Amino acid sequence: MSGPEETRGSQGPVVPEGNGALPARAGEERLAAPVVRTGMFGTQTTGDTSGYGRLRVHRAPPIESLRPYGSYFDAVADALGGALQAGGLGFSDAIERVVVDRGELTFYVRRERLREVAAKLRDDPDLRFEMCTGVSGVHYLEDGGRELHAVYHLLSITHNRRVRLEVTAPDADPHIPSLVGVYPTCNWHERETWDFFGIVFDGHPALTRIQMPDDWKGHPQRKDYPLGGIPVEYRGAKIPAPDERRHYE
Amino acid sequence: MTAGQTPGAPAGAGEADEEAAEGRVYTVSGEDWDEIVAAANEARDLGGGEQIVVNMGPQHPSTHGVLRLILTLEGETVTEVRASIGYLHTGIEKNMEYRTWTQGVTFCTRMDYLMPFFNEAAYCIAVERLLGIEDKVPERAQIIRVMLMEFNRISSHLQGIGPMGMELGATTIFLQGLRLRERILDLYELITGLRMNHAYIRPGGLAQDLPPGALEAIRAFLEGAPKLVHDLRTLIDANPVFIGRTKDVAYLDLAGCMALGVTGPMLRSTGLPWDLRKSQPYCGYESYEFDVPVTKSCDAYGRYLIRMDEIDQSLKIVRQCADRLAAREAAGDPVMIRDAKIGWPAQLSLGPDGLGPSPEHIAHIMGQSMEALIHHFKLITEGFRVPAGQAYAAVESARGELGAHVVSDGGTRPYRVHFRDPSFTNLQSVAALCEGGMVADVIPAIASIDPVMGGVDR
C-alpha cells in the first residue's frame, strides 16, 4: 500500500544520490527498515483469505533535500550558515538535515544547538524571523531513538517568509531546550507540548500543565497513551476505545 | 469570587488552621457585600498595603468565557495577573487522529465556535497542500470560501464588540451587535443548514453548492447591513463612557506583540499592516480589492476601531464575491474537486425522507454501476489516503493567524493535527496588558483581546 505514496511524495523532496539510488538497492534498504504495520482489514486470525494479512509496510526512509532548494530557501540556508559560521559553528554542526517538501522548508536542528539556531534566525538581518507561531509536538512511536518531535514554525514579517524547525528527543530522555528566552510566545506553547507529550523543555520558567488538570497522569497526545472505552448500560456491552476499534490500515 | 492573603482581617477561632495555610478566605456569593467591605477596610487599616488575591472566573460574566484570572491587587491596582485555562479542553486534536481526513472538519469547526469557517478553511488548506491539490480546488468553491470567511469575520467581530459593550455595562451595544450577527447566522443556516459548527468546507472544496435563493438573500443582507453597522458606530465611536473605559487602556506596542506572537487586530492596532490575506494570500484573496485597517494607538479603543473598519472591508469583499458568483453559470460549475478519489461522489439533496445523496447518484450506484457503488462505499467509509509528510497552513482569521499543522503517515486518518489558535497565543499577553493598571481595566483588556475559550482550550 505504500507504493503510490512514495511516488507521489517524491515529487518535492530528493532522495540522496549514490549507490542507494539504484532501484534494487533502494528496495533492499526499504526491507531493512523497521516495520510500521502489518496486515490489513484488521484480520488477525486464519479467516483472512485475501492474502493482505501478510502485508508488511516498512517505514519510509527519512527524506533529505539537496541544493538547490528553490524559492527563497537557498537564501535562508545561506544566511543561516553564514550567521552560524560567524558564531564559530558549522552548518552541519547545528542542522542535521534540510527538507524541502510541498513548498515548505524544514531544518532538522540538533537539540543541543536549538537555542543558538533560533537566536540567529531571529536576529540576523538577512533572516529576521521575528515571530514564532508556536510549538507542536508529534510522537512517532516507531522512530526509534527519536520518538518525540517538537516542531517550531517561524515567521519573518520583514521578509515575508516561513521556516520550520524540527527537533527530536528519545522517549528515554525527553529533554529539549526551551525557546522562551528567544521567543517569549513559546511559554504557553511549550507548556501545552509538555502537557500533551511529556517533552521537558529545559530552562522553561514554569513548566506546568496548562490544559489538563494539574494532577493528571500521563500525556494524552502520545501515541502510547491508553484510551478508555465508554461503558454502556446495555447487556454489559462496552464501546471499545478508539484505538481498538476496527479501522482501515 | 474568593479573596485571600489578608492576614490582618478578623479571624474566627475555628478557621485558624486553614488561615495559616491559605490566608484569610472570603467567599462572596452576593448580598453580603457590606461584610466584605468592612473586613477589607479593617484589613487595610491594620496591615496597610496588603495584597489581595482575587480569583476572577472561571464562571464570571466578564471574562469572555470560562477563563480564570488570578489577580493580585494592591488597593485597586493590579500588580500581577495569571491566566488559568483548560476548563474547556475537549481533546479535539486527539479525536481527529481517530477519524478520516474528511470527518476531521466536523471536529475542528467546533474549536473556536465563533469562527467555524476559518477553522475549517485552515485545516482543509493544509490537507490540500499535503495532497498537492491546492490549485485544483474549483474556483467557485474558493469564492464561496472567501465569502463565508468574510461573513464569519463580521459575525465574529460583532460577537466580540457586542459582549465587550455588555461587560462595560451597556446592554444596548450587545443587542445591537447581535441584531446584525443574527442576520448573518440566518445566512449560514440557509447556505450550510446550520448556524454554527457547519463542517461545510471540506478537503477539495465544499460539502455542497449554494442553495437556490442564497444569492438573493446575500444581496438583501448587503443592502441592509451598512445601515446597521453605521447605527452601531453612531452608538459607540464617540461614546464618552466607552472611550473613557477603553482609550489608553490595555497598551501593547509592536515589540510586545512580536515577542508574544500576537497577531490580528491587536497587532494591527500598533500600526503594522500585517494581514496574511495580503502578504501570503490563499483562496484567491489576491484578486479581491480591500484595505487593511490600522491604528497606531496600541490600545483597546484602537482595536475596537480596527474591528469596525474590518467589518466594512469584509462587506466590500462579500459584495465582490456575490458579483462573481452571479456572473458564473451555476450549472456544471463544481464546488468539489473533480478527482473522484478525493471528492465526495454525490451532492446532497432534500428528498421526501430528509437530506441525503441526490436521487440521480442513488439511481446510478444502486441500478447501473457496481463499481460506482464500491467506490462510493470505500470513499465514505475508508476515506482517501494522504501522502506522508507535514504541512502548515495559516489563514488570517478574525483574531489573527490561525495555523493548522497537519502530519500524515500516509494513512486514511491524520497522524497528528495541531492548531495554532490565535486566541491561545493572544491570551498570553493578558499579563502585559493588565499589570500595573486598574482592576476595572482588566475587563476591557480581555475584551480587546477577544479570546474564545473554545479555541484556546480545543
Residue percentage of chain B with pLDDT more than 90: 44
Dump pLDDT digits (tens) for B402-438: 999 999 988 889 999 999 999 999 999 999 999 888 8
Are B392 and A104 inside 8 Å of each other by CB?
Answer: yes
Which of B275, B392, B423 is best to mutate for the A interface (most A CBs within 10 A)? B392
Dump pLDDT digits (tens) for B255-292: 999 999 999 999 999 999 999 999 999 999 999 999 99
Please report the ipTM that was assigned to this predicted complex: 0.83
Chain A residue with minimal CA distance to B384? A248
Give chain A positions within 8 Å (CB) of B413: 247
Q: Please report the pLDDT score of residue B7 as a whole number.
A: 41
Dump pLDDT digits (tens) for B92-103: 999 899 889 999
Distance from CA of B260 to the nearest CA of A (A): 4
Least confident range of A2-11, B383-392, B420-429: A2-11
Chain B contact for A213 (CB, 8 A cutoff):
yes
Are B86 and A209 inside 8 Å of each other by CB?
Answer: yes
Per the CB < 8 A criterion, the answer to whether A221 and A197 are in contact is: yes
Q: Is the pLDDT of residue B57 over 80?
A: no
Chain B residue with minimal CA distance to A104? B391
Task: Tell which residue, A185, A152, A154, has the closest CA to residue B261.
Answer: A185
Distance from CA of A213 to the nearest CA of B (A): 8
Chain A residue with minimal CA distance to B130? A102
Q: Environment class of residue B289 by beta-carbon count within 10 Å: exposed (0-12), middle (13-18) or buried (19+)?
A: exposed
Predicted TM-score (pTM) of the model is: 0.85
Q: Is the pLDDT of residue B120 over 50?
A: yes
